[in-house]
């Protein structure tokens, strides 16, 4: 059985049919990886450092000999680990197929040899060594030409393209994320940037959510989502360029700023009650820390007053101060667009009802096409 080398375009076709194994070190993988990959490090971080130093100081052959000393004792365990990865992959994919009859059965169920894709940083010695071992054992091995670096270049290309975005806008507390979910439930294509970034965008946006990914990993999952969207019209929430500690790639954000804006107009009181329900159960200490992060823009008096209301359990008074601040801040970002008059569509809504408001958005699109 021969090892088959594939380019990124071929990989994009096969990645949904077999597991992807990343043989880079754990720290490389943890920082950023191709979405969906399994970590199968050939060398630990320390081993990789030793081999890299030997390569620079004593040459390629000396580094390979040292690498073989590390690789040899791991071979059996790596084969067993890959067998478990293939089993886990097939179980998940079979479950997905059973839920959707239109999906294809995994290749590993319809051919004799289990299939895998393997890559390292540049498609060189690390992935080549593990590919040789797994091919020898009996796996059908596909090796990604250019490795993670080739994928990363492809991902960056996706972020430079034009997309048919429809911008969902509305003041804080309008339930925009819930509307995105309702739009998706109605068959609309949706890009949820805040979900990908693990952050809701404001100074309070990280409360109760998992840690944010690295900037590089955020760009990778974003590129994959954009590739799947292609040329379809796609709803995306109006965002500032920064989402927590991450930023939307500049070219993509500039593209978003040129697309039609559908602004949900909901009364202040309705939005205030939504915010109270959404954030009212959050840890008061985390809330106070978030307020303190915006004190330079909020102002010393308003900051002190909001924190005092928070400590006394006067949530409506506290959130009224914060919501007025965010309304002012959001309006500035909304109007800082070229040709806003030609892009803006206002949709009056009585309250924060994601189902009804999603229907109004769809009706607005229908009326304008």
* pLDDT tens sequence for the chain (369 residues): 689 999 999 999 999 999 999 999 999 999 999 999 999 999 999 999 999 899 889 988 898 899 899 999 999 999 999 999 999 998 888 777 555 555 555 555 544 679 999 999 997 889 999 999 999 999 999 999 999 999 999 999 999 999 999 999 999 999 999 999 999 999 999 999 999 999 987 778 888 889 999 999 999 999 999 999 999 999 999 999 999 999 999 999 999 999 999 999 999 999 999 999 988 888 889 989 989 989 998 999 999 999 999 999 999 999 999 999 999 989 988 988 988 989 999 999 999 999 999 999 999 998 876
Which runs of consecutive H residues, i.e. helices, occur in 246-299?
A: 250-256, 268-279, 284-293, 295-298
| C-beta of residue 117 within 8 angstroms of C-beta of residue 7 | no
Q: What is the DSSP letter of 277?
A: H
Distance between CA atoms of 113 and 140, rounded to whole angstroms?
A: 6
Distance between CA atoms of 271 and 267, rounded to whole angstroms?
A: 6
Distance between CA atoms of 47 and 37, rounded to whole angstroms?
A: 22
Strand extents, DSSP E, 254-352: 261-265, 344-348
| C-beta of residue 229 within 8 angstroms of C-beta of residue 189 | yes
Give rounded-to-5 percent helix, strand, coil for the chain. 55, 10, 30
Distance between CA atoms of 13 and 212, rounded to whole angstroms?
A: 28
What pTM was estimated for this model as a whole?
A: 0.90
Closest CA to 118 of 17, 40, 16: 40
Strand extents, DSSP E, 15-160: 20-22, 38-39, 115-119, 140-144
Q: Which residues of 16-33 are buried (b: 16+ CB within 10 A; e: fewer)?
A: ebbbbbbbbbeebbeebb
Closest CA to 6 of 130, 117, 80: 117
> Could you list the active site residues?
120
Strand pairing partners for 119?
22
């Amino acid at each position: 059985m021969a090892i088959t080398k594939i380019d990124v375009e071929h990989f994009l076709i096969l990645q949904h049919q077999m597991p992807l194994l990343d043989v880079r070190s754990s720290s490389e993988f943890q920082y950023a990886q191709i979405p969906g990959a399994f970590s199968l490090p050939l060398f630990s971080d320390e081993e990789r450092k030793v081999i890299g130093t030997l390569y620079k100081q004593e040459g390629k052959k000396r580094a390979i000999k040292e690498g073989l000393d590390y690789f040899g004792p791991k071979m059996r365990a790596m084969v067993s680990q890959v067998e478990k990865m293939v089993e886990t992959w097939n179980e998940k994919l079979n479950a997905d197929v059973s839920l959707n009859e239109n999906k294809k059965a995994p290749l590993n169920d319809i051919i004799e040899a289990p299939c895998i894709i393997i890559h390292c940083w540049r498609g060189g010695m690390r992935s080549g060594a593990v590919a040789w071992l797994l091919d020898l054992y009996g796996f059908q091995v596909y090796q990604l030409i250019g490795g993670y670096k080739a994928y990363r270049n492809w991902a960056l290309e996706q972020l430079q393209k034009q997309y048919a975005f429809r911008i969902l806008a509305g003041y804080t507390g309008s339930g925009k994320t819930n509307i995105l979910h309702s739009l998706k439930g109605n068959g609309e294509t949706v890009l949820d940037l805040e979900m990908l970034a693990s952050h809701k965008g404001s100074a309070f946006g990280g409360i109760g959510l998992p840690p944010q990914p690295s900037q590089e990993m955020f760009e990778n999952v974003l590129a994959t989502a954009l590739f799947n969207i292609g040329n379809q019209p796609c709803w995306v929430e109006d965002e500032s360029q920064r989402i927590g500690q991450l930023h939307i790639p500049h070219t993509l954000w500039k593209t978003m700023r040129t697309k039609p804006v559908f602004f949900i107009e909901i009364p202040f009181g309705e939005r205030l009650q939504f915010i109270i329900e959404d954030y009212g159960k959050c840890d008061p200490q985390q809330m106070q820390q978030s307020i303190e992060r915006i004190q330079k823009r909020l102002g010393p008096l308003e900051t002190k007053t909001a924190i005092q209301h928070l400590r006394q359990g006067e949530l409506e008074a506290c959130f009224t101060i914060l919501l007025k601040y965010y309304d002012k801040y959001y309006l500035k970002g909304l109007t800082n667009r070229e040709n806003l008059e030609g892009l803006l569509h206002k949709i009056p809504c009585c309250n924060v009802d994601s189902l009804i408001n999603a229907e109004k958005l769809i009706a607005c699109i229908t009326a304008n096409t």
